[in-house]
Amino acid sequence: MHIIALGVNHRSAPVEVRECLAFADNAVPAAIEGLRAAAGLHEIMILSTCNRVELYATCADPEATREKLVAGLSGFHNLPAARFADNLYFFRDAEAVRHVFRVAASLDSMVVGEPQILGQLKDAYALAVEHEATGQVLNKFMHRAFSTAKLVRTQTNIAGSAVSVSYAAVELARKIFADLTDKTVMLVGAGEMCELAARHFITHGVRRVLVTNRTHARARDLAAEFDGHAIAFGDFHNQLDRVDILLSSTGSPTYLIRPEHLAPALKKRRYRPIFLIDIAVPRDIDPAANEMDGIFLYDVDDLQGVVAENIDQRLQEAERAEELVALEVDKFTGWLESLKVTPTIKELRRLAAGIAGAEVEKTIAGLGDLSPRQCKKIEAMAGAIVNKLLHAPVTRLKEEAEHGNQVPVEVVRQLFNLKNSGDRNQNPGDHQQRETGSTTPDA
User: What is each CA distance from 322 to 102, 308, 317, in whole angstroms?
Assistant: 8, 21, 9
**How far is the C-alpha of 251 from the C-alpha of 248, rounded, in Å?**
10
**How far is the C-alpha of 331 from the C-alpha of 318, rounded, in Å?**
20
CA angle 233, 238, 243 (to 5 degrees): 90
Q: Quick one: 407 exposed, middle or buried, by C-beta within 10 A (0-12, 13-18, 19+)?
A: exposed
Contact yes or no for 129/434 (Cβ under 8 A): no
Tell me which residues are annotated as active site: 50
For 331-353, b/e burial (b = at least 16 CB within 10 A) is ebbeebbbbbbbbbbebbeebbe
Contact yes or no for 213/224 (Cβ under 8 A): no
284's CB contacts (< 8 A; 6+ apart) are 188, 189, 248, 249, 250, 252, 255, 256, 257, 278
